[in-house]
A = this chain, B = another copy of it.
Amino acid sequence: MNNFEEICSLIGKDKATMNETVLLNHSKDESDHEAVEPDIVVFPESKEDVVKIVQYANKNQIPVVPFGAGSGLEGQAIPVHKGISVNFERMNRIVEVRADDLVVIVQPGITHMQLNEQLKKHGLFFPVDPGADATIGGMASTNASGTLTVRYGGMRNQILNLETVLADGRIIQTGSLAKKSSSGYHLNGLFVGSEGTLGLFTEISLKLHGIPENIVAARCFFKTVRDSVDAAAAILTAGIPIARIELVDSRSIKAVNDYEGTDYPEEPTLFLEFHGNESGNKEDIDLIKAIAEEAGCLEFLFETDSLKRATLWKARHGMNYALRHGSPGLASLTTDVCVPISTLPDNVEFADSQLDALGLKGGIVGHVGDGNFHVMILFDPASHEQIAKAKELEHQIVEFALKSGGTCTGEHGVGIGKRQFQRQEHGDALDVMIDIKKLLDPNNILNPGKVLPAGIEQKI
């Protein structure tokens, strides 16, 4: 029997395919990294299926690449060394809502929007909101975050336990259902963000939060991008527990006005949100308005109406699509640096001016409350000159961030595109990471070619 037949005999032939269209759909994500088709796509329905697939792959040294919604921005789901793509769409159940514990246990294939839809009736929500409707498994794999992370934390802060299948087929529980623990080594933290290179998740336990009694959104715009980031830094150091504070530059505002039909002033803008009780929010907003005005805010507008609030956040989440939509035929490369807040104005201003200086299209948006911002660099994929300029700008932005004490990726993960910066960012700590990879995946079957720098494969 060949690999496909053997896998079919192990898990059932309705759970594996070599259909060309399916292979094509598992060859890429939302990045512009080169597509590579897997040899086989499997659709496990249980952890037992996952164990069988991984054990077979390990025995036969075949790469195993987990696949969620395919919405990644760094090529994590692309099977660069071919092999088996493991699509978790049939493992998308809520296993248990433990409302009294503010905990939910899910399978990895559920998306964050599907999850929140089910949580509403409990008065609870899950706060990690990347732009795309990613799966919880994918979000755990890249340590995703989003606009609410400044208040609630990213994936690593929400995860209590990961049921994980290791390269040799053992199933481990990386944590417990306790809200905190000092027992043993913190495997939760190690496996979150490991991008399928250390194990495959089959069940995920998450913290939940009560839907706030009162939510107010606001937007305020500025003359320069520097003013807007200075204002954000001032708001943060005032110690006010803001729920969202997002930067959108004038290029992105223009793109979203064109795409969504909004009429936001086309200036550097902060989108804000406050979660709390009514009187507390009122007091916080008065203070923040004063700080923003002091920092040069031209106008401060509220969106108390829930529809307008929804429009605002839909616009923000759709920024990526709006920018691409406005430039058909162009490819994109998205940076994701995260830097100490005090260095954010310099970092953003540098990116802003270089985008113009290099004559590239694009836009800047950012979770500025965390010091995390994205430069979407658009380029003509047929122009060697533009490709070179886009890559040069990416390098410059990452260099600036690392010199500021920051990181090359705040939330998108390393995948393929950020491997080149791993040695520079982590120094000798990278050797510890490589040793951990070798320890847990000696045959290098788990998502090979990701996270660790190119050239490491041979050593593993």
Contacts and interface: CB of A to CB of B under 8 A. Distances in A.
A451 interface: yes
A176 B405 CA distance: 6
B182 A370 contact: no
A283 B179 CA distance: 26
Contacts of A157: 153, 157
Nearest to A421: B183
Interface stretch (A185-193, A263-271, A324-332, A374-382): A185-193
Interface in A384-428: 401, 404-414, 418, 421-422, 425-428
A372 B144 CA distance: 28
Interface in A76-105: 98-103
Contacts of A194: 185
A62 to B, nearest CB: 23
Interface residues of A, number: 103
A282 interface: yes
A252 interface: no
B183 A422 contact: yes
Contacts of A187: 429, 432-433
A140 B30 CA distance: 39
A430 interface: yes
A410 B170 contact: no
Given A143-B180, A176-B425, A280-B283, 10 more contacts: A178-B338, A178-B340, A179-B371, A183-B407, A185-B451, A209-B239, A241-B241, A277-B280, A435-B439, A439-B439
16 contacts: A101-B343, A143-B181, A143-B182, A154-B180, A173-B429, A174-B429, A178-B338, A180-B338, A183-B418, A185-B194, A187-B432, A210-B240, A213-B239, A241-B276, A279-B279, A280-B284
